[in-house]
Amino acid sequence: MAELFDRGAYITDNAVLMKDRLNKQYSSFLQSRPTMCTYYHVNPVFSTTDTGTRDVEGLIDDNSPIRYNKIENFPIYGIDNIQADLSDSDAGLDTSYDGNAVILPNTIYPVPDDYFTIHYLGKEYLFRVNHCTYDRLKSNNYYSISFHLEYADKAGFERMEKLCIEHYQCIFDNIGTKDKCIVRTSDYNVLERVNVILNSLKEKYAERYIDKKYNAAMYFANSYCYMYDSMLNKFINSSKIYEPVIGSLKFYLLYEEFRPYTGMDYEDSIYDRVMKKDFSDPSDINRFYWPEPAINTESVFDYNRDDRVKYLSYYNVEIGPFGNKLLPYFSSDFLNAIKLKNINLLDDLFEKLVYTYVTQPSANCLKFLDDLEKVKIRYNFHTYIWTPLAMYSLRQVLKDIKVDLTALDETLVHQNNY
């Protein structure tokens, strides 16, 4: 099977790892699951009052001097009972409600007059933070907040929205890791968009080209020629394009078959050049191929007596050793584009994406997202070769985006003078 791990086992193993990580860092003392809310965090830079002079009445009316950062999908612990109370009451929380909750370290530094909302049964409940304490008993300190229900109507929520000047998303899986966990919404949207496109391409390619029997990326040319490209399979494994970056639970480790010249072939392949981001000497790149019988007694193909399978042999000249005209591995347009450093010579979307990734800053690849969202993977040799190259380019773009995400200001994570 092409799937490296059983899906259920993989999910279970990662759930255990996540639990261990959370327990080690901050959750050994928490006996409840998080409630995801929208958190409104006081922005001290754009607020025009301070703790000593703030009027506690009318904090979110039209004349409010306070401004907020809106953080969506933010986890708060210890408030599970709120939803239980909502379910028990036909009217919902329409009077008063007081409670306590926990906020995890290295997310935000909560302050009085923060707010958070819970959406339940078609209604918005807006809670106001009254008091915050910093627990110092654990090695990974956490924040305890007390709060009360401020509004249980749409009008309160709408007034709060008008006071928001910056918008963020919380990436829950990043909490407790070196990755940024609260990032600007505009950056997060780009991150998610690239990730969705990448996962779609991975699924489409796997459906079309990954043979589950042989656990390999293969191309069916005809009933007598089922191509196994050793360079391509090596590239898919070494580039880790099927290992998850974010939000994926499935990946593949493909069958690699040793051949005497595989190493030398790969060093002169387009795959190696793309991974090294080096098109400085394109003349040495193998750009022709020929399918040959798979003769290898240690091969999985020989074991299955599958004489349809053909290996690809690679060349950087058009005429083969027996005077036969070889087949193009990739287009002359792409070779000319990298020789002349001119992307305008390319018409193919994947070729333009790969060219841009290798020769320009990663951010320039984002201009292709509209087209990539609509792209169709036709079954042919071109997409067999170029889809993994496009996926690798997007994967690297995704990693670069993660590094460059705009995070919540550090003073709002670890300290707040408001």
Choose from 15-24, 142-151, 236-245, 343-352 the range with maximum mean pLDDT.
343-352
* Contact indicator for 99, 146 with CB cutoff of 8 Å: yes
Q: pLDDT tens digits, residue range 58-71?
A: 577 778 889 999 99
**What does the pLDDT read at residue 87?**
57
Predicted confidence band at 417 (pLDDT cuts at 50, 70, 90)?
Answer: very low
**What does the pLDDT read at residue 32?**
59
Predicted confidence band at 415 (pLDDT cuts at 50, 70, 90)?
Answer: low
Nearest residue to 69 via CA among 160, 134, 189: 160
Q: pLDDT tens digits, residue range 290-327?
A: 998 877 767 888 888 888 999 998 998 899 888 899 99
* C-alpha to C-alpha distance for 101 and 303, rounded to whole angstroms: 62
**What does the pLDDT read at residue 236?**
94
**What does the pLDDT read at residue 106?**
85
**Going by C-beta distance under 8 Å and a sequence separation of 6 or more, which residues neighbour residue 220?**
226, 227
* C-alpha to C-alpha distance for 35 and 15, rounded to whole angstroms: 18
* C-alpha to C-alpha distance for 400 and 195, rounded to whole angstroms: 12
DSSP H or E segment with residue 12? helix 7-22
User: Does the pLDDT at position 3 exceed 80?
Assistant: no
Stretch 132-159: mean pLDDT = 81
Q: Which of 112-126, 186-200, 221-235, 361-375 has the lowest mean pLDDT?
A: 112-126
**What does the pLDDT read at residue 359?**
95
| Mean pLDDT score across all residues of the chain | 83
Q: Is 334 left (phi over 0), alpha (psi -120 to 50) or beta?
A: alpha
Whether the predicted model's global pTM rises above the 0.85 cut: no
Size of the chain, expressed as the number of residues it contains: 418
User: Does the pLDDT at position 196 exceed 50?
Assistant: yes
Instruction: For the chain, state the CA radius of gyration.
Output: 28
Phi, psi angles (nearest 5°) of residue 240: 60, 30
User: Does the pLDDT at position 89 exceed 60?
Assistant: no
Q: pLDDT tens digits, residue range 331-352?
A: 999 999 999 999 999 999 999 9
* Contact indicator for 309, 233 with CB cutoff of 8 Å: no
* C-alpha to C-alpha distance for 364 and 392, rounded to whole angstroms: 15
**What does the pLDDT read at residue 20?**
53
- Residue linked to tokens 């929520």: 157
Which position has the higher pLDDT, 254 or 396?
396
Q: Mapping DSSP to helix (H, G, I), strand (E, B) and coil, where does residue 278 land?
A: coil
* Contact indicator for 199, 218 with CB cutoff of 8 Å: no
Q: pLDDT tens digits, residue range 5-32?
A: 444 454 445 555 554 554 445 554 445 5
**What does the pLDDT read at residue 139?**
53
Stretch 23-47: mean pLDDT = 74
**What does the pLDDT read at residue 337?**
95
21-31 b/e with 16+ CB inside 10 Å = b? ebeebbbeeee
**What does the pLDDT read at residue 55?**
52
User: Does the pLDDT at position 328 exceed 60?
Assistant: yes
